[in-house]
Amino acid sequence: MSETQIHRIFIDATPEKVWQAITTPEFSRLYGYTGDVSYDLTPGGHYEHRASAEMLSMGMPEVVVTGEVLESDPPRRLVQTWGPVWIEDEEPGTLTWDIEPTADGATRLTLTHDLTGRPTTAEQVAGNPDPMADGGGGWPWVLSGIKTVLETGEPMESGVWERQASATS
């Protein structure tokens, strides 16, 4: 598996809205693995992704991902470290979010994840065809969720964690 994953999606929203979707809890609780994100958007600032109530009910820790902001250029670029707390034997990798307006008024969101020396993380964030099987759909699922929320105002999949919790109990 490649040591860098690049995921790209086009979204019918402004770069400012895409930035908000990535960096604010009002949006982060509506897509992907839900839960609240918290960013100090200054270089050296702290990042964390807190577990949703559903994730907590499944035994996940209160904070599921931590990192550090390396570069912040709203609404164009965010570079940060990203380390899932359940993978204890790998250092955090680097995420780069590039947000670019397109000629037709959409926004191109490119997520580059440097996973050098992080094979477990690489496998988990690559995703799988069924997001509810074996831990979720990784970055493709997260980006699709951002797109859906911004274009429709609704989550892509509501009740995802409730369904997974009942399937495992």
pLDDT given for residue 156 in this prediction: 86
pLDDT given for residue 131 in this prediction: 58
Q: Is 121 within 8 Å of 92 (Cβ atoms)?
A: no
HEC sequence for 81-122: EEEECCCCCCCCEEEEEEEEECCCCCEEEEEEEECCCCHHHH
User: pLDDT confidence of 22, banded at 50, 70, 90?
Assistant: very high
Distance CA 60, CA 50 (A): 10
Q: Is 113 within 8 Å of 5 (Cβ atoms)?
A: yes
Q: In whole numbers, what is the pLDDT of the chain averaged over residues? A: 90
End-to-end, the C-alpha distance of the chain in Å comes to 33
pLDDT in tens, 80-132: 999 999 999 999 999 999 999 999 999 999 999 999 999 999 988 988 766 55
Q: pTM score, two decimals?
A: 0.89
pLDDT in tens, 131-145: 555 557 889 989 999
Domains of the chain: 4-168 (3.30.530.20)
